Amino acid sequence: MTFDRLLSRISLDSPSPLVKQAPTIVAFAIAIVLLLSPHPVAVITNFADFTIGVLLVAVASVLAAAVPWSRLPTEAAIAVPVISLIAVGFFRLGTGGALSPFGAILLLPFVWIASEEGRLNALIAAVGTFLVLFAPIVRTEGAASGTDLVRAFYAPVIYLLVAFVINEIAHRVRLQLAAAEAAAAQRKELLDQAVRASDELALNEARLKTANRLILSIWNAVTEQSVIGTDLDGLIDVWNPGAEKMLGLTQEQVKAAGRHVVDFHLTSELEERLRELDVRKVTVSSPGDFSALVDAVRAGYAEARDWTYVRADGKQVPVQVTATPRLDENGHRVGFIFVATDMTKAREFARLKDEFVGLISHELRTPLSSILGYLELMRDDEDAPLSAEQLQYLGIAERNAHRLLRLVGDLLFTAQVESGQFPLDLREVDLRDVVGASIESAGPAADSAGIDLVARLDDRPLLIRGDAQRIGQAVDNLVSNAIKFTPARGTITVGLERDDTDACITVSDSGIGIPAVELGQLSTRFFRASTATRNAVPGVGLGLTITKAIVTAHGGRMAIESEEGVGTSFTVRLPLEGSDRNDG
């Protein structure tokens, strides 16, 4: 093993006892060489003391090298310099005593002991030095001189002071070293964190670039829907390819002109919406118009409404716009996003569908009316009376023809609702009479089904301005639905009462109920709840559509509450005559 490799294995951060003992070994080796040279600078005056000193330093050196000090308490290693200090004492006695030229070796173990942690070690170093210096006086034959005694006692005092100074300096150096090591460890940790953060930053940057490319690809691919982003005042700062295609302007043109989103809306629609919101009428150039688009969003709700966009060339495009808030990284609203879908084809399709339904309904009415007329003639023909069995068959045919006629009427009515053209014969109506008539008409059907039909009507007149026939039709639909969905021995309660400025009609049953996830679809044409299909309840899914249309046309509202297996409750609120509420 080379000397360099040997040095590389020595820890400089925490020197081992062998490293600390090395100067003492070198000093003794030099002293022995000088004593045994052909021209010695000193002589051995006591061979026994000389030999003991050499043996003791050898023992201390072997202990420093062979003992696994790392496994022992830190203070145990002090034994090595203590033995070396005793060795120096004997070596000094054997080479001239107080006149020995090798007394300076004493400093090496002295400094080692004094520099160890703890004030006790400084005291041990001073006491050991005192013994080494005082030993020649004890061994001297005859009385010692006053100078020797002063030197023997004065020098240890100086050594004691030096020991405490060395001990304090070593203590402070250790503290500084510990602080430096802690700072170095902290710097290393910070450096490691910085490296990790740099790696994560590079990785996140790569991911961000990938995500940006993906988002940009998706953004450019959205050409059938316009996406417009604005600040809090409606100034446009986001304009996707779909908006460019729909409205005929590029993003650069829109931003250069400082366009607002209200610039692409019909003034009449904005003013109508503002009136609904009970906001003062403003001109189209005023930012106040913007509240017509985002009033619900500012209140914390996403909103989807039908609007009409105006292209750069003046052409109008019917759209459905979903408005949502635009948030920053802290969740604060910084603007709005408007996603618009062109409804031109959808509305044309709906118009054609309604025309088709209306046409078919008209075409079916004539033959059905004719069939019913001839069936009536057959029943009333006195010249060729029908047998009981024939009358039974005729009754079945009449019932099915009337059922078809009602279905045709419902189809025609829904077509009129969709086109906004169904007529209302508005007059003063007392709802007690309308609801009472519906309950009376449904009585036989409820009795036949074994259902208890309960009426709870307000005794006071409840007057509204409306179409008595249409309102009766709505109540009939609700009650007949309740009868169909309520098993035998169930209960249906029809209530009528005044609630502030509204008349409140409730129809509650203890029937099979409707799943909560389906409640929002009940007023959709031809939709039937899963509980109805599972229980084979007859119907085509138009009754509630018609009912809601009638209620809405009268400025009212309809609410539904239901629990599957428990029952369903419909609540219709209609504004009383003379009330100030405006439902739009």
The per-residue pLDDT for range 2-44, each reduced to its tens digit, is 444 543 444 444 578 888 888 888 888 888 888 888 777 678 8
Three-class DSSP category at 349: helix
Specify whether 335 is located in the same domain as 447.
Answer: no
CB 343 within 8 A of CB 318: yes
Look at residue 221 in the predicted model and tell me its pLDDT.
Answer: 67
Best-predicted range by mean pLDDT among 225-229, 376-380, 394-398, 527-531?
225-229
φ, ψ of residue 418 in degrees (nearest 5) = -60, -35
Nearest to 576 by CA among 466, 475, 457, 495: 466
Q: Are residues 387 and 440 in the same domain?
A: no
Is 470 part of a structural domain of the chain?
A: yes
pLDDT band at 1 (very low <50, low <70, confident <90, very high): very low
- Global model pTM greater than 0.85: no
Tens digits of residue pLDDT in 411-426 = 666 666 666 566 778 8
CATH number at residue 458: 3.30.565.10
Q: Return the number of other C-beta atoms located less than 10 Å from residue 413's C-beta.
A: 20
Task: Please choose, from the candidates 571, 548, 547, 567, the residue with its C-alpha nearest in 3D space to the C-alpha of residue 559.
Answer: 571
What the block records as the tokens of 530 is 């899963």
The answer to whether residue 548 sits within a structural domain is yes
Q: Which of 566, 507, 560 is nearest to 531 (CA)?
A: 566
User: How many Å apart are CA 553 and CA 308, to the nearest integer?
Assistant: 23
Structure tokens belonging to residue 114: 């004094």
Domain that holds residue 100: 9-188
Work out the average pLDDT over 550-561: 85
Residue type, 39: H
CA 129/CA 113 separation, integer angstroms: 11
Q: Are residues 258 and 166 both part of a single domain?
A: no
Q: Three-state SS for 320?
A: strand
pLDDT for 114 equals 77
Last residue of a domain, one of 419, 446, 469: 419
- The pLDDT-based confidence of 363 (bands split at 50, 70, 90) is low
Q: Are residues 102 and 164 in the same domain?
A: yes
Last residue of a domain, one of 398, 419, 440: 419
Question: 212 lies in a domain?
Answer: no
Among 130, 161, 188, identify where a domain stops.
188
**Closest by CA position to 544, among listed 530, 561, 558:** 558
CB-based contacts of 514: which residues, under 8 Å, 6+ apart? 522, 529, 531, 560, 562, 564, 568
Lowest mean pLDDT among 204-213, 398-407, 470-479, 505-514: 398-407
Question: Is 336 found in the same domain as 230?
Answer: yes
Q: What is the mean pLDDT of residues 153-172?
A: 72
Residue 98, pLDDT above cutoff 70? yes
312 and 377 fall within a common domain: no
| Mean pLDDT (whole number) for 165-171 | 75
- Report if residue 198 sits inside a domain: no
Continuous segment of H or E residues that includes residue 494: strand 491-499
**CATH code of the domain containing 314:** 3.30.450.20
- Give me the number of domains the chain comprises: 4
Q: What is the mean pLDDT of the chain?
A: 78
8 Å CB contact between 556 and 479:
no
Per-residue model confidence as pLDDT tens digits over 248-299? 898 888 888 889 888 899 888 888 888 766 543 433 334 457 888 888 788 7
- Residue, of 477 and 170, whose pLDDT is higher: 477
Give the span between the Cα atoms of 12 and 522, in whole angstroms: 85
What pLDDT score does 507 carry?
Answer: 92
% the chain with pLDDT above 70: 78
Whether 236 and 351 have beta carbons less than 8 Å apart is answered as: no
Q: For residue 207, tell me if it sits in a domain.
A: no
> CA–CA separation, 53 vs 59, rounded Å?
10
Instruction: Write out the H or E segment, with its range, that includes residue 509.
Output: strand 502-509
Residue in 465, 474, 408 with CA at minimum distance from that of residue 435: 474
How far is residue 360 CA from its own chain's centroid? 53
Instruction: Give residue 360's pLDDT.
Output: 65
- Specify if 194 maps to a domain: no
Q: How far apart are CA 25 and CA 379, in angstroms?
A: 140
- CA distance linking residue 309 with residue 318, whole number of Å: 6
The pLDDT of residue 141 is above 60: no
Judgement on whether residues 180 and 38 belong to the same structural domain of the protein: yes
Distance CA 233, CA 240 (A): 19
Closest CA to 410 of 494, 476, 506: 476
Same structural domain for residues 526 and 544? yes
- Please check whether residue 495 lies inside any domain of the structure: yes
Nearest CA to 506 among 555, 559, 554? 559
Question: How confident is the model over 543-556, as a mean pLDDT?
Answer: 81
CA distance 251 to 242: 11
Q: Both 32 and 68 in a single domain?
A: yes
508 pLDDT band, cuts 50/70/90, is very high
CA 381 vs CA 376, 377, 393, 401, 402: distances in Å: 9, 6, 16, 19, 20
Phi-psi region of 306 (alpha: psi -120 to 50; beta: other; left: phi over 0): beta
Sign of torsion over alpha carbons 379, 382, 383, 384: positive
- 271 by Cβ neighbours in 10 Å (0-12 / 13-18 / 19+) ranks as middle
Least confident interval from 72-76, 251-255, 509-513: 72-76
112 and 253 both lie in a single domain: no
Domain for residue 391, yes or no? yes
DSSP symbol at 576: P
> Greater confidence, 276 or 235?
235
Residues 242, 171 share a domain: no
Q: What is the CA radius of gyration of the chain?
A: 54
Cβ partners under 8 Å of residue 327, min gap 6: 333, 334
CA distance linking residue 581 with residue 338, whole number of Å: 31
Show the beta-strand stretches assigned E in 198-315: 225-230, 236-239, 303-310
Q: What is the pLDDT of residues 113-137, one digit of tens each?
A: 877 888 787 788 778 777 777 777 7
Residues 234 and 105 occupy one common structural domain: no
Q: Give Cα separations from 57 to 78, 86, 106, 421, 469 (angstroms).
A: 14, 8, 12, 120, 125
Of 295-309, 351-365, 469-483, which one has max mean pLDDT? 469-483
